[in-house]
Amino acid sequence: MNTALFSDINWLAVLVAAVAYFAIGGLWYSKVLFANSWVRLSGVNMNDPNAKKGAAQIMLASFVLMIVACIGLAILIARIGSSGWMTGCKTGLITGICFSATAISISYLYEKKPTGLHLINGLYNIIGSVVAGSIIAAWPK
């Protein structure tokens, strides 16, 4: 197997980017921003004791998936061949809109989810991708 694809990845930058992406989610889905709207639109019953079961596993799994997304961003940024936060910002914006938000909305259309939920979850992933891409591209090699 040819692993040259991974040779240009700065793994520390990927980890820091994933932590930033995760931290943005902590703020995004907090009561400071969109927690109440997200709960209402998603239909999650926060009074149900089962709603909080497995929260640690869900957060760990989502962090692992953010690492995967950041690895993908790192590969794209390396292949673009340009560095600097603006390259990362643009790459994150393109991937956030064209892949993350679009994939979420395609699923939500079939699931007949409210438009507000598309916006909350889609915009979170766009902003997370922009920040992660900026970190990865700006990080010294």
Cα pseudo-dihedral 18, 24, 28, 30, rounded to 10: 100
Helix/strand/coil (H, E, C) string of 93-115?
HHHHHHHHHHHHHHHHHHHCCCH
Sole residue written with tokens 């929260």: 55
24 vs 125: CA distance, rounded Å: 10
98 vs 24: CA distance, rounded Å: 20
Task: Output the pLDDT for position 47.
Answer: 82
On whether the CB atoms of residues 127 and 26 are closer than 8 A, the answer is no
Using pLDDT thresholds of 50, 70 and 90, give the confidence band for residue 2: low
pLDDT digits (tens, 9 = 90+) for 22-76: 999 999 999 999 999 999 999 888 888 887 788 899 999 999 999 999 999 999 9
Q: Which two tokens stand for residue 25?
A: 């989610």
